[in-house]
Structure 1
Amino acid sequence: MRISFLHTVDGNKRVFDDAAKTLGLRVDNLRHEVRSDLREAVQDAGTFSAALKEETKRCLLALAAHADAVILTCATLGPAVEELESTPVPIVRADVALAAAAGKVGGKITVLCAVEAAVEPTRKLFERHASDTVRSVDVTHIARVWALFKSDNIDECFAAIAASANEAYEAGATVVAYAHPWMAPAVNLARNGSQPLDSAHAALRNVMQRIGGPSLCI
């Protein structure tokens, strides 16, 4: 079984490889394509234009032609998936998989987000996938971690993310979710006794359920 990924951040390749290993998946069956130009074009234009959506869809379908499932790891490009009427294999949005996983847990959901522009779209996404057991959805913007990540202060960045997760649990959160895939390494740094959810594991688990986890295991 082969899983392909469309990334816009190069570092997400390792994040998903590491998550796959923890789930017992064969890393040599994973194929990564990085198209940071697509995300940058959307940011420069200030909108996800029809032309950029078409390019994203073409890229996803090209990956699908040689895979059993495709995972789109960039939330900015996510709307392109919704416009695909039919696909030869499942195409999973990592952010949707995360929101669905959090929604199943229910209770009070706190989502940690590093980019201010993503706060409202993230809130709407998690509310859309909330189950009847969800009491509230709060999206917390932790601004400094994005600057730390971009400047390669990785240890300080992940420590700050974990500290925010601990604060959220102490404030009564039932589940904490990390909005961006690159945040995943901070999962094991949280010390509240509860483990935050990350989109890398959520997306891979979603794929395993849809195309058969046991056949993907080493």
Structure 2
Amino acid sequence: MLKDFREKRNVMRIACLHTAQSNVAVFDSAAKALGIGPTVLQHEVRADLLAAAERSGVLTAQVSNATQQALLSLADHADTVLLTCSTLGPSIEGLAKNTSSVIIRADEALARAAVRANTQGGKIVVLCAIQTTVEPTSRLFMHAAQASKALVEIRLVCGAWARFKSGDLTGYLAAVAEAVDRAYLDGASVVALGQASMSEAASLVTTSSSPLTSATEGLKAAVEAASRHVKSGS
């Protein structure tokens, strides 16, 4: 069974839509850790989409439509398309009827994983670095936690995004890791890194628990979806 799964996992096609070039390496690294072959993932980077949302302060209809077109284009050549940007996440709503491929959100997979991991019924703390993702991330996690009655707190890591945009990736990841440590010390039972760009901060955390990342959880969900797609012969 395990051998069959590994074989299927490495013949499927998963396309990732990113809004930061650095996330290509983040997802390639997560894929390698999960045993996903190097030929499975394909990447497209559309930094212009996030930049447009930042200028507007919200996800506008124009940016949402452009995101949908990019996702549908990738879906023509993939079993599953993974949208890795949490700011653009709501753009996938209603796309299922337009393609036979599966289009999923990395942050939605993260939210489901956080609720599953919260076995003690404690507080889930979700960290965000950019203001434009706070509202959609909050809505997503609150919805995922409804059935479990889990408490969810969204925290913005102040100043982190400015470091990221200035190219100070080391400072950015250090700030995120510090926020993770603080959340655990404040009593969080689960900490989730709400943006894919935060993923590598997990290795810098000094508390005993590691945060969940959208890169790992998103790819797990993408593999499962692509496996079903390949099995169905769609």
CA positional deviation for 1:2: 1.0
Which of 178, 195, 213 aligns to 2:193? It is 178
Unaligned runs of 5+ in 2: 1-11
CA positional deviation for 1:99: 1.0
CA positional deviation for 1:47: 4.5
Partner of 1:5: 16
- SS in structure 2 of the partner of residue 129 of structure 1: helix
With over 3 angstroms needed to count, the CA separation of the structure-2 counterparts of 1:43 and 1:154, relative to structure 1, is closer
CA positional deviation for 1:134: 4.4
Q: How far apart, in 2, do the equivalents of 1:51 and 1:146 lie? A: 24
Partner of 1:32: 43
Q: Which moved more, 1:161-170 or 1:35-44?
A: 35-44
Partner of 2:70: 59
- TM-score normalised per structure 1: 0.90
Q: Which moved more, 1:29-38 or 1:43-52?
A: 43-52
Q: Which moved more, 1:147-156 or 1:62-71?
A: 147-156
With over 3 angstroms needed to count, the CA separation of the structure-2 counterparts of 1:111 and 1:83, relative to structure 1, is same
Matched, 1:212 2:227: yes
Residues 103-132 of structure 1, C-alpha deviations (whole Å, 9 max, x = no match): 222231001111234323322211011154
Q: Which moved more, 1:114-123 or 1:89-98?
A: 114-123
- SS in structure 1 of the partner of residue 81 of structure 2: strand
- SS in structure 1 of the partner of residue 200 of structure 2: helix
Check the 8 A contact 1:39/1:76 in 2, yes or no.
yes
What amino acid sits opposite 1:103 in the alignment? V
- SS in structure 1 of the partner of residue 152 of structure 2: strand
Matched, 1:72 2:57: no
Residues 153-211 of structure 1, C-alpha deviations (whole Å, 9 max, x = no match): 22222122112111111111111011110110011211211110010001001112223
What amino acid sits opposite 1:152 in the alignment? G
Partner of 1:48: 59
Number of residue pairs aligned between Structure 1 and Structure 2: 214
Q: Which moved more, 1:37-46 or 1:10-19?
A: 37-46
Moved over 4 A (4+): none
Partner of 1:125: 140
Partner of 2:9: none
With over 3 angstroms needed to count, the CA separation of the structure-2 counterparts of 1:85 and 1:3, relative to structure 1, is closer
Identity rate of aligned residues, in percent? Answer: 43
RMSD: 1.9
Q: 1:97-112 maps to which residues of 2 (within 5 A)?
A: 97-106=109-118, 107-112=122-127
Check the 8 A contact 1:184/1:199 in 2, yes or no.
yes
With over 3 angstroms needed to count, the CA separation of the structure-2 counterparts of 1:117 and 1:24, relative to structure 1, is same
Q: 1:124-203 maps to which residues of 2 (within 5 A)?
A: 124-130=139-145, 132-203=147-218
Q: How far apart, in 2, do the equivalents of 1:52 and 1:141 lie? A: 23
Q: How far apart, in 1, do the equivalents of 2:155 and 2:72 lie? A: 34
Q: Which moved more, 1:2-11 or 1:100-109?
A: 100-109
With over 3 angstroms needed to count, the CA separation of the structure-2 counterparts of 1:108 and 1:45, relative to structure 1, is closer
Residues 37-58 of structure 1, C-alpha deviations (whole Å, 9 max, x = no match): 1222233344434343332222
